[in-house]
Structure 1
Amino acid sequence: MNIFDLARPNIRELVPYQSARRIGGEAAVFVNANEAGGAVLAGFEGAINRYPGAQPLELVQDYAAYIGVKPGQLLATRGADEGIEVLIRAFCEPELDSILIQPPTYGMYAISGETCGVQVKTTVSLQEADLSDAKLVFVCRPNNPTGEMMDAQQLKELLIRANGRALVVVDEAYIEFSEADSVVSWIEDFPNLVVLRTFSKAFGMAGLRLGMVVANEDCISLLAKVLAPYPIATPVSAIARQALTNEGLAAMRARVREVNALRGALAGQLEDKGYKVLPSSANFLLAEGGELFDKLLAGGVLARKLGNQTRISIGSSDEMAKVQEALNG
């Protein structure tokens, strides 16, 4: 399948904005980007008076090594949320094309579709859905807010059915909590697969607003046309690279082990209180009972109320002790 055939016609022909960093060039003195001259923040490692590159190349290389792909198969974005929007802008013609989701799922798929003037279609089952009108099919895996993991064979079947028709976007924001279930390695076999990743969850860096789009090189080149220039701030890139060192990755995986253990403990506590808890492969639990939200709030703990269900994020051991106190209150 030719990915270019799925993109919007104007995006295929678009020449991206030729920023100073995209044009490049070597010189002793740079006066080509209307930047301030000289250092402006003493003690900071990195010339923040200069615009960053069109992509943070060293960070991209580090992340590619972490997940086992080629650097050309990555695009760094301001959170996975920007990745969602860039995909819609690149592949979906306003008022003509649609995206497909299976609620309940992450709300930004629909919001991004609507703000881009793209129809948002829903289905009770992606396995049985009509894919003929959809350009993008979003699969949150593990799913937010349920925590469930779409079966790998079902996902393969969806990719095969969508081949030549649509991109299947697998949002792996929570995948480190079930790392063996990642489908990043499928990129070579399925040209219509796109994977979204983030530093916000297992890496504990939600404040960085940093995400990655993983796809084949043709798809990445199309998305790069749409992405605004200089997307990743120099300090953000520097901090994120620390998280990808051997020490940083070891800390992340230790955090994952702790969160998974705390999640299991909380599930048991909720069930002992009579709440039905959905199995989760993420850093949260979804429990039946809207009154649970009120009980936690009365104990000084703010969870997330979703209709008659309550979603509880798994925080630190101290935070989860406060959750337990609120449950017992």
Structure 2
Amino acid sequence: MSEWLEALTVNYVNELTPYESARRLFAGSGADAKQVWMNANESPFHRDYEIDTAIFNRYPDCQPDTVVNAYADYAGLKPEQTLVTRGADEGIELVIRAFCEPGQDSILICPPTYGMYAISAQTFNVGVERAPLLADFSVDIDAVLSYVGKVKVVFICSPNNPTGTSVPQEDIVKVLAAYKDKAIIVLDEAYIEFDSEQTQSQLLAQYPNLVLLRTLSKAFALAGLRCGFTLASPDIIQTLLKVIAPYPIPAPVAQIAGQALQSRNLSAVAKDVEFLKTELSQLQAALSKVGDIQIVGDIKANFVLFRTQKKNELMKHLVDNKVLIRDQSKQIALENCLRISIGDKAQNQTLLALITAFFANEAK
């Protein structure tokens, strides 16, 4: 960067390291039709939707009723408890912007976890405190509670990315009660369709400091749509509406999201989820028998995490064969760990065959 531009840039922005998304890491690879994408926790499925272009000359609604009402019904909540956003990532940003004073306040995260909590906070000059997960990747409740009065927002991901572990309700309740009137507790449920019994949406009625994040990117197979939801008390939703963009949801996104939430598509999503959970369980079992692979965490989402001392060599082998998975070894407690997003049956078989062949060759 040139000196004059660096001098003009805000100091904390100069110090930022951008989030390395799956597409940034392999920019341009999507043009290769033979590429097998198993690194971004996307669904391997897709569906056709209808688009009405007649209204594209008009600005869209800030909060389209068809989408808000449909998702509220799906989540078992009221429309006034529902905010539709540009992916769950925008929900993260809105909470930080609404409740954290730049240069003064901090958030709390529980690593290893989703990287955008910290990135979003740092982007707004908000501090980041950390209460690392325990050795079994459960939340260290004592550590989390030690920050009461010191942070404004607590982020907990359940099921957690990248460990695939879920947080028991009793732990969530302990955190909510301890931070009552003192901080917002954000529970990221982006993968909740894969562990639906663990949703904490019923707690919204009892704990006004609870915020849930949801998305259509995972189970709904609409990662390219960038459509998410923030679920909270009506008061919190109204606060977030003060800081949201005037037209956050493009008209085509609203049309597709509305269709995706219709009953026939919800049934299809449920079938996809059951299929992927079965495939994931089988892949986990198969991987555990290959080479020095050690399964790490759990499989409550749509991916499996594992450790191997041959991490770098295996990654190169897979990339050379046009199969992309995700290196998670930079995260705390995840040395030599790789994460695989579950694909369709053919993709899973291709991946497993390549990994098996790699370790068989290493053993020679």
Matched, 1:275 2:303: no
Query: Percent identity at matched positions?
Result: 43
Q: C-alpha displacement at 1:325, in angstroms?
A: 1.8
Matched, 1:288 2:307: yes
Q: C-alpha displacement at 1:152, in angstroms?
A: 1.4
Separation of aligned partners in 2, 1:250 and 1:88: 35
Aligned ranges 1:147-158 → 2 under 5 Å: 147-158=164-175
Matched, 1:48 2:56: yes
Separation of aligned partners in 1, 2:321 and 2:251: 41
State the one-letter code of the partner of 2:177.
I
For the residue of structure 2 that corresponds to 1:195, the secondary structure is strand
Q: Please say which of residues 148-157 and 122-131 is displaced more in the overlay.
A: 122-131
Q: C-alpha displacement at 1:126, in angstroms?
A: 4.4
For the residue of structure 1 that corresponds to 2:62, the secondary structure is coil
Q: TM-score, normalised by structure 1?
A: 0.85
Show CA shifts across 1:146-190 (max 9, x none). Answer: 001112111111111111111110000000001111111211111
Matched, 1:197 2:214: yes
Separation of aligned partners in 2, 1:46 and 1:173: 32
Q: RCO higher in 1 or 2 (8 Å CA, sep ≥ 6)?
A: 2
Q: Does the Cα contact within 8 Å between 2:328 and 2:338 map onto a contact in 1?
A: yes
Q: C-alpha displacement at 1:328, in angstroms?
A: 2.2
Separation of aligned partners in 2, 1:294 and 1:311: 14
State the one-letter code of the partner of 1:265.
Q
The equivalent residue for 2:351 is 323
* Match of residue 127, structure 1, among 123, 137, 141: 141
For the residue of structure 1 that corresponds to 2:268, the secondary structure is helix
Q: Does the Cα contact within 8 Å between 2:168 and 2:198 map onto a contact in 1?
A: no
Q: Does the Cα contact within 8 Å between 1:46 and 1:234 map onto a contact in 2?
A: no
Q: C-alpha displacement at 1:301, in angstroms?
A: 1.3
The equivalent residue for 2:162 is 145
Q: C-alpha displacement at 1:101, in angstroms?
A: 0.4
Q: Does the Cα contact within 8 Å between 2:281 and 2:299 map onto a contact in 1?
A: no
Separation of aligned partners in 2, 1:246 and 1:217: 26
The equivalent residue for 1:74 is 82
* Match of residue 328, structure 2, among 306, 324, 328: 306
Separation of aligned partners in 2, 1:45 and 1:185: 38
Separation of aligned partners in 1, 2:140 and 2:80: 30
Separation of aligned partners in 1, 2:157 and 2:125: 22
Structure 1: give runs of 5+ residues left out of the alignment. 1-42
State the one-letter code of the partner of 1:144.
N
* Match of residue 217, structure 1, among 224, 229, 234: 234
Q: Does the Cα contact within 8 Å between 2:304 and 2:339 map onto a contact in 1?
A: yes
For the residue of structure 2 that corresponds to 1:64, the secondary structure is helix
Separation of aligned partners in 1, 2:322 and 2:279: 19
Aligned ranges 1:255-266 → 2 under 5 Å: 255-266=272-283
For the residue of structure 2 that corresponds to 1:142, the secondary structure is coil
Structure 2: give runs of 5+ residues left out of the alignment. 1-50, 133-138, 330-335, 358-364
CA RMSD of superposed structures (Å): 1.3
State the one-letter code of the partner of 2:174.
E
Separation of aligned partners in 2, 1:226 and 1:218: 14
State the one-letter code of the partner of 1:284.
F
Show CA shifts across 1:194-253 (max 9, x none). Answer: 000000000000000000000000000000000010110111011111111111001111
The equivalent residue for 1:297 is 319
Aligned ranges 1:230-249 → 2 under 5 Å: 230-249=247-266
Show CA shifts across 1:6-59 (max 9, x none). Answer: xxxxxxxxxxxxxxxxxxxxxxxxxxxxxxxxxxxxx83551111111211111
Separation of aligned partners in 2, 1:295 and 1:134: 43
Separation of aligned partners in 2, 1:117 and 1:159: 25
* Match of residue 161, structure 1, among 164, 178, 188: 178
Q: C-alpha displacement at 1:119, in angstroms?
A: 0.3
Separation of aligned partners in 2, 1:95 and 1:268: 47
Separation of aligned partners in 2, 1:145 and 1:293: 17
Q: C-alpha displacement at 1:319, in angstroms?
A: 1.3
Q: C-alpha displacement at 1:293, in angstroms?
A: 2.8
Give the number of equivalent residue pairs: 287
Separation of aligned partners in 1, 2:52 and 2:171: 49
The equivalent residue for 2:102 is 94
Q: TM-score, normalised by structure 2?
A: 0.77
Matched, 1:252 2:266: no
For the residue of structure 2 that corresponds to 1:197, the secondary structure is strand
For the residue of structure 1 that corresponds to 2:58, the secondary structure is coil
Q: C-alpha displacement at 1:68, in angstroms?
A: 0.3
Q: Does the Cα contact within 8 Å between 1:126 and 1:158 map onto a contact in 2?
A: no
Separation of aligned partners in 2, 1:295 and 1:111: 31
